[in-house]
Amino acid sequence: MKFSKEFLERTVQVWQPYLKEPLSLDDAEEIANNAVGFYTFIAELDQKYSPSKNPAISNS
């Protein structure tokens, strides 16, 4: 996925306080790609296991 330079710079600003080593824009791109991948995975699980999508799973 392609991210703007501004987005990557903001990603560095957000995450840098949590890390000792300086983050590069490449690091920020990896962080962003990992976040996208994680939320894509969660959305896929939600679709697969949502009771409204899968009648075999019920809340009752």
Tell me the per-residue pLDDT of 12-52, one tens digit each, with 9 for 90 and over. Answer: 999 999 999 999 999 999 999 999 999 999 999 998 888 77
Is the confidence at residue 54, as pLDDT, over 70?
no
Q: Is residue 28 part of a domain?
A: yes
Q: Is residue 16 part of a domain?
A: no
Structure tokens given for 13: 């600003």
Which residue carries 């000792």 as its tokens?
Answer: 20
What pLDDT does 42 receive?
96
| H helices, E strands: number in the chain | 2, 0
pLDDT tier at 55 (50, 70, 90 boundaries)? low
Is the confidence at residue 56, as pLDDT, over 70?
no
Q: Is residue 42 part of a domain?
A: yes
Helix (H, G, I), strand (E, B) or coil at 29: helix
Domain that holds residue 32: 22-53
Neighbours of 40 (CB within 10 A): 10
Q: Is residue 6 part of a domain?
A: no
Q: How many domains does the chain have?
A: 1
